[in-house]
Chain A
Amino acid sequence: MGLEIKFFSLLKLELKESGVEYDLDGLTTIEDLIARLDQDYEGIFSEKLLEDGQIKMGTIILVNGTNVLHLDKLETEVSEDDEVSIFPPSGGG
């Protein structure tokens, strides 16, 4: 098993994909993951999720249900079998 990444909201609609599974293969942090996703999806991830190299206000990145802002932000480590859920800035109510 590798790392399971789930796309939601505009990412899911624009990419027409629900997610992707990656082998870790040198990928250790969320920052690495976004770089890998950018390579595969023409830079859309950093464009939607980041601002000045930091997580944009309202972006939600969860590792096994916990927001990375309460872990180590972009330096949060990921490991085999983790599930990462990614949402661009979103709100409602």
Chain B
Amino acid sequence: MCGIAGLISQKRIRENGSRIKKGIVLQTDRGNGLGAGYAAYGIYPEFSDLYAIHLMSADQHSLDRAQKFLEEHFFIHAAGEIPVWKQKITDHPLLWRYFVEPRCHHTEHTLRRSADDYTIEKVMELNRIFEHAFVFSSGKNMGVFKGVGTPQEIYDFYGLDNYEGYCWLAHNRFPTNTPGWWGGAHPFNLLSYSIVHNGEISSYGINRRFLEGFGYYCRMQTDSEVVAYLLDLLIRRHALTIEEASLVLAPPYWIAAERLADDSVRDTMLALKIIYESAMLNGPFAILAACTEGLFSITDNTKLRPMTIGRAGDYTYFASEVSALYEMEQGLRTVTTPRAGQPCIVRLEPEELPVDYLEPDYAAKGA
């Protein structure tokens, strides 16, 4: 059992973490103090073109080595300790952040890969080779803040009153089958994909082997991390829409897919089920995922974990409990509960691009 909360402004109106905190702190009984975390989108506008690398390290030596690794592979435009306020939480790892640009376009053989691919590869490499240091957030203009503690303690520890984002995720953890440690807290992130998860992924064994075949490295000792990597693989690398990716992760039953009336819809669904059999999630889960496109929820086909959704004006709220929705916004216009396996997707309104906007995809330039 875990608690989930999320909110998004489709017009990208930024706000600090106070409302999301109310939504997750209300769900205290869904956690046990062994993990909580937040993800916020739109918090680093001044570095919006740079990857924001959040790094955890158990000791100074590992931090130095990890930092050296980053310097080797990235141009570091800004770096610093993530500010923390030690009130309740005193025993914590070293927490640093770096705003970086890949060095990939300087190397001939990497020209065909995108900057995203390069960054993922280096993040995975860092997480694999350093035993006591790892990256827990690597997207642009967003960040993950998590650790061992209650939602209130983690919120105060990172001082999330001081960050302003248009999309927030929050999680309250009750770890059962994996240890409660700083890396194991939610959200899990890779590039712009962040997820919080309530449940247990019984298909983890094969999801992980499937991802390893695409170069992903699972480090966090917990099943939920595969979801972030699967989203990156499906949406960014395999160019599926959010709808399609949701159907891959929580597909309709064969019996339902084979009876779809529309030939083209049926054939697409069957093809997705066949090709991505090993990406399908099984077990009880309610997942809330954020990416640069928006915020969306996925639940399992048997509906073994709760998810509720409320709307008011430009805002959409997600939570494990209806009371948490009202805690975030008292004037909700609608409150709904998705059916089992039904994805709910909220897309951001298109951003107005600056005139001199450049595609931040180095592959496009190199090709």
Is B one of A's binding partners? no
Interface residues of B (CB under 8 A from A): none
Interface residues of A (CB under 8 A from B): none
